[in-house]
Amino acid sequence: MTFLIRQGNAWVYSPRMNLLLSVGLLAALAQQPSPPAKTPQAAPPPPPPNVKVGEPMPDFTLPYLDAGPEGRAVPKQVKLSDYKGKQAVVLAFFPAAFSPG
Amino acid sequence: MQRYRENAAGFNAANAAVFGVSVDSTWANKAFREQTGVEFPILSDSKKDYVRALGLLDEATGYARRVTFVLDANGVVQHIDMGAAALDPTAAVGACSLLKKKTQ
């Protein structure tokens, strides 16, 4: 490691200054706390849904676009409670369109 | 969703109505449905109110977590698949078949 000091208009090498600065720098480095050891941890599992087996599913009314004649989009909606007393319902929540599954 | 489409016959046999749900727009879900040939509706919770109420919203990504619920005809949850398990609808089909047997 080399430090230059300014004398007049020129930068010059000073052995004594270099010794002082090097010792000082090393001491400062030695005092820095070592980074904490990294322990590999698996991501925590996502929290379970608020609705459990045996509990009623909260009602919803959500829209979708059905394919109409000539490829036209027909706005429709589904109300969960409309199925009550009629048939079982499977609700598959997924992150995003064009995702696997 | 594709694998749920492939299991449509199983769900139909059990007289279960299947819906996909995501926080995407209705247009995105329509395009997704057309591309994949999924016959059941894919509903849009674009305001994210419902998925948030269920605790399914991943706040970091803004997307819903992958969870499948099977409800009986009374709207009571009978089966839940979470995460990777929810990619495979086999268990959900089984749960629907079981529900049908119970009601017969």
Band of residue A45 on the pLDDT scale cut at 50, 70, 90 = confident
Contact A50 B28 (CB under 8 A): no
Alpha helix ranges (H) inside A4-100:
15-31
Most confident of A7-16, A23-32, B42-51: B42-51
Contact B74 A84 (CB under 8 A): yes
pLDDT of residue A33: 65
- CA-based angle B8:B50:B62, to the nearest 5? 95
Specify the residue for token string 């600065």: A21
pLDDT of residue A24: 72
pLDDT of residue B95: 92
Contact A88 B54 (CB under 8 A): no
Comparing B40 with A33, which gets the higher pLDDT? B40
SS3 B70: strand
Asked if the ipTM is above 0.85, the reply is yes
pLDDT at A7 over 90: no
Comparing B68 with B1, which gets the higher pLDDT? B68
Mean pLDDT of A39-57: 86
- CA-based angle B78:A43:A34, to the nearest 5? 160
pTM over 0.90: no
CATH architecture of B2-103: 3-Layer(aba) Sandwich (3.40)
Residue A45's nearest CA partner among B92, B51, B58, B71 is B58
Measured torsion, CA atoms of residues A61, A64, B33, B7, in degrees rounded to the nearest 10: 30
Chain B partners within 8 Å of A64 (Cβ): 26, 29-30, 41-44
How far CA B13 is from CA of A58, B36, B99, in Å, comes to: 26, 22, 11
- CA-based angle A10:A15:A1, to the nearest 5? 90
SS3 A65: strand
Is residue A76 a contact partner of residue B10, using CB atoms and an 8 Å limit?
no
Residue B66's nearest CA partner among A92, A94, A70, A82 is A94
Mean pLDDT of B23-51: 94
Comparing B13 with A97, which gets the higher pLDDT? B13
pLDDT in tens, B50-103: 999 999 999 999 999 999 999 999 999 999 999 889 999 999 999 999 998 887
pLDDT in tens, A52-101: 999 999 999 999 999 888 878 999 999 999 999 999 999 999 998 766 55
Is residue B82 a contact partner of residue B66, using CB atoms and an 8 Å limit?
yes
pLDDT of residue A4: 72
**Domain boundaries defined on chain B:** 2-103
